[in-house]
Homo-oligomer: A and B are copies of this chain.
Amino acid sequence: MRAVAIVGAAETKFGKLEQSYRELAAAAGRAALADAGARPEDIQALFLGSYSPGTFIHQEHVAPLVAAELGLPHVPATRVENACASGGSAFITACLAVAAGLYDVVLVIGAEKMTATSTEETTQILAEAADWERESAIGLTFPGVFALMAHAYFYRYGYTRDILDAVAIKNHQNALANPYAQFHKAITRDDIARSPLVADPLTLYDCSPISDGAAALVLVAADAAHHFAKPPVRVLGFGQASDSLALFERAELTTLPAAREAANRAYRMAGVSPQDIDVAEVHDCFTIAEIIATEDLGFFAPGEGGAAALAGATSRDGQIPINPSGGLKAKGHPVGATGVGQLAELVFQLRGDAGDRQVEGAEVGLAHNIGGSGATCVVTILAKGDGR
């Protein structure tokens, strides 16, 4: 396959925003083009990751809508949906299109507008990423799904919710240095102890928020990356894997087999191992998910992710910095944008452009983006430079 590089990255702020879906997506796209020093007419295709604009804003067929808004006349524009991994899957799809040789310059956008619906509606819409016929329709929404995982993890490895506190406090702390983050609010164990219970053992501070936002990347054939304005970041490897949507069809709840499989594929393609990763953005839709992710990705052995979080091994200056952006927990989680936003953050980190949240000396970064409770998992590995 032809090598692929990222030459432009951008995000809107995440949060409850005034702008419409098309305004957010176009703003991210324009900013990524500006970052790359590219013009709209350079773009040969658009891939757009978005979860459920049909239910959130009565608008399907969003890819040509956004292409037209950006002034990309007649470019092939394709939406990719894989729940909260829509962004990661759109990115992989775009990589394949460049790798195939059909396009040299491709724009990838992730976008979601989630705050135009009521909280009850939004909860139902999100539950449609789980198995509606077999689980969601009888009331198992995502906080419940991840609460079951947290209980299983506690029971199997002997933890209490201290480990969840450590993740929430770290990610809120990290987000203080991220201008794109939804929350700029340091939290304490006391804050968490006083916060409302959502689904035992998960409290408000264990849950990622409902967010609007968009993120974008400009992908090019690696051998053309030097034509663009910013230092390139190359795509070393990626992997995607699937699993059943319904939890009852899984053998265990303390690991996501599809995440392990996606990570193995990405490590194999990249030719690196977990020890080579300098910084990772992982899918902490709930705090327990970050702990399980650090094990599924091979940073820690099964059952040791909790202790590692407690010991600070995942802080910005720790053994493996996890979610320096603030993660979904504090940066925000506009679901279709999330996977693209993770990669934008890695681009900033690997270029040394991450400001006060910079992980010193980061040369290889990993993104872990999951859909639903892990029925889709996408792992991507990026490295500084164009590899020449």
Contact = CB atoms under 8 A, between A and B. Distances in A.
Interface of A: 1-2, 20, 22, 46, 51-52, 54-55, 57-61, 63-65, 67-68, 72, 74-83, 89, 92-93, 96-97, 99-102, 124-125, 128-133, 136-137, 239-245, 249, 257-258, 261, 371-372, 375-376
Contact of A74 (B75, B77, B249, B258): B258
26 contacts: A1-B100, A46-B242, A51-B60, A52-B60, A54-B54, A61-B130, A61-B245, A63-B82, A63-B242, A63-B376, A64-B243, A64-B372, A65-B244, A67-B242, A72-B242, A74-B241, A74-B243, A75-B242, A76-B92, A77-B242, A78-B92, A79-B81, A80-B81, A80-B93, A93-B97, A96-B96
A376 B2 CA distance: 27
A245 B125 contact: no
A172 to B, nearest CB: 29
A371 B245 contact: no
A49 B88 CA distance: 18
B64 A82 contact: yes
Contact of A102 (B89, B99, B130, B133): B99
A51 B61 CA distance: 8
A363 to B, nearest CB: 25
Given A63-B242, A74-B261, A100-B100, A132 B57 contact: yes
Contact of A245 (B2, B65, B82, B132): B65
Contacts of A64: 82, 242-245, 371-372, 375-376
Nearest to A2: B100
Nearest to A257: B74
Contacts of A93: 78, 80, 93, 96-97
A133 B100 contact: no
Contact of A99 (B92, B100, B137, B242): B100
Contacts of A261: 74
Contact of A241 (B51, B76, B97, B133): B76
Q: List the 10 closest A-B pairs by CB distance, nearest first.
A: A64-B242, A76-B240, A100-B100, A61-B83, A64-B375, A99-B100, A77-B242, A68-B244, A74-B241, A61-B129
A237 to B, nearest CB: 11
